Amino acid sequence: MSYEVALTYSESLVRYAVTRFWWRVVGVRFLIALVLLATCLGFFLYNGDTSWLVGAMGAVLVFGALFAVLIYVVHYRNSLHKLRAMGSPHAHLVASDDTLSFSSGAGLAALPWSSIVEVWQFPQCWLLLFSKAQFVTLPLTSVAPEARAFILQRVQSAGGKIG
């Protein structure tokens, strides 16, 4: 059994996918930790404390915020680069029993199902993760429910997680 689907990408879809990826990776706990750290730092500075501990807190705050921003910027720029490398924003997906294949103006990739470690499901797209930092965006507008179920079943049977 196999499913063939024509996919259409756009800059807004890329932005949506990267934002969802960023939010899942960074998360609300990390942002709360930064806010708490900034609050503590402000309290110490307000009370005149200029010890090395306050400096270290400031450095952790700056690097933490920079880390969160860079995760988004790096993934967004890489995703836009890949979108532009496609030429036409159209791709072709073939989901068969053994592989998941993507073809576009940028080339062809045939991946065994075992290479997908997790699927993150969102209303407009799915992110098929190959590692904690590498993913491919699957726009859902033209993917039939049967094809979606098939993809999820194949990923699960190959050991991947569905999230």
How crowded is residue 8: how many other Cβ atoms within 10 Å of its Cβ?
12
- For residue 83, the model assigns a pLDDT of 95
Look at the block and give the residue holding tokens 């098929």.
128
Same domain, 113 and 81: no
Using the 3D structure, point to which of 68, 85, 102 is the last residue of a domain. Answer: 85
Same domain, 24 and 64: yes
Same domain, 39 and 94: no
Per-position pLDDT tens, the chain of length 163: 899 999 999 999 999 999 999 999 999 999 999 999 999 999 999 999 999 999 999 999 999 999 999 999 999 999 999 999 999 999 999 999 999 999 999 999 999 999 999 999 999 999 999 999 999 999 999 999 999 999 999 999 999 999 9
What order of strands is seen across the sheet that includes strand 2-8? 2-8, 90-96, 99-104, 107-112
Q: Provide the domain count of the chain.
A: 2
* pTM of this prediction exceeds 0.75: yes
Using the 3D structure, point to which of 85, 100, 115 is the last residue of a domain. Answer: 85
Same domain, 102 and 147: yes
What CATH number does residue 143 fall under? 2.30.29.30
Same domain, 103 and 57: no
Same domain, 76 and 107: no
Using the 3D structure, point to which of 62, 85, 108 is the last residue of a domain. Answer: 85
Same domain, 69 and 109: no
Alpha carbon distance 29, 50 (integer Å): 27
Domain range spanning residue 125?
A: 2-9+89-162
Q: Of 143, 131, 14, which Cα lies nearest the Cα of 76? A: 14
Same domain, 123 and 81: no
Give the DSSP per-residue string, the chain.
-EEEEEEE--HHHHHHHHHHHHHHHHHHHHHHHHHHHHHHHHHHHHTT--SHHHHHHHHHHHHHHHHHHHHHHHHHHHHHHHHHHTSSSEEEEEEESSEEEEEETTEEEEEEGGG--EEEE-SSEEEEESSSS-EEEEE-TT--HHHHHHHHHHHHHTT-EE-
- For residue 155, the model assigns a pLDDT of 97
Same domain, 111 and 54: no
Same domain, 37 and 99: no
Same domain, 74 and 15: yes
